[in-house]
Amino acid sequence: MKKIIFIIIITLISNSKNSIADTIDCTQFEKLSAKYLECATVNLKEKTKDIKLKATIGAKELKDKAAENAKDSKEKFNKSTFKEKLVKFKNSKTLTEFMGK
């Protein structure tokens, strides 16, 4: 039983090592070797995770800002006299009826 727990702990630690690691310097390997390609892919994965996180946060902020601006615009439109004129125009069947009211 102790061996199984020990093996599970070692496996978890070794798997978490990849996610904790910072950017690796790939210049220590030859450019045409498999180790260099592996190093470059690991660095690329880390960069894409960071970019994805920044993009989702930025998109959420942009969405919130757009919703807030739309709400403000709607309030301004409701307070304006243009709304009354627009409703009057929609309710009139002809142009002369609109001008006469």
Could you list the mean pLDDT of each consecutive 10-residue stretch along the chain, which spans 101 residues? 69 60 76 86 89 89 89 86 83 74 55
Mapping DSSP onto H, E and C, the string for 39-86 reads HHHHHHHHHHHHHHHHHHHHHHHHHHHHHHHHHHHHHHHHHCHHHHHH
pTM of the model: 0.44
- How many helical (H) and strand (E) elements, i.e. helices and strands, does the chain have? 4, 0
CA-based nearest residue to 55, from 66, 67, 63? 63
Residue boundaries of the structural domains of the chain: 30-100
Token match 């709304």: residue? 83
CA-based nearest residue to 19, from 56, 52, 53, 45? 45
pLDDT tens digits, residue range 57-85? Answer: 989 888 888 988 898 888 888 888 888 88
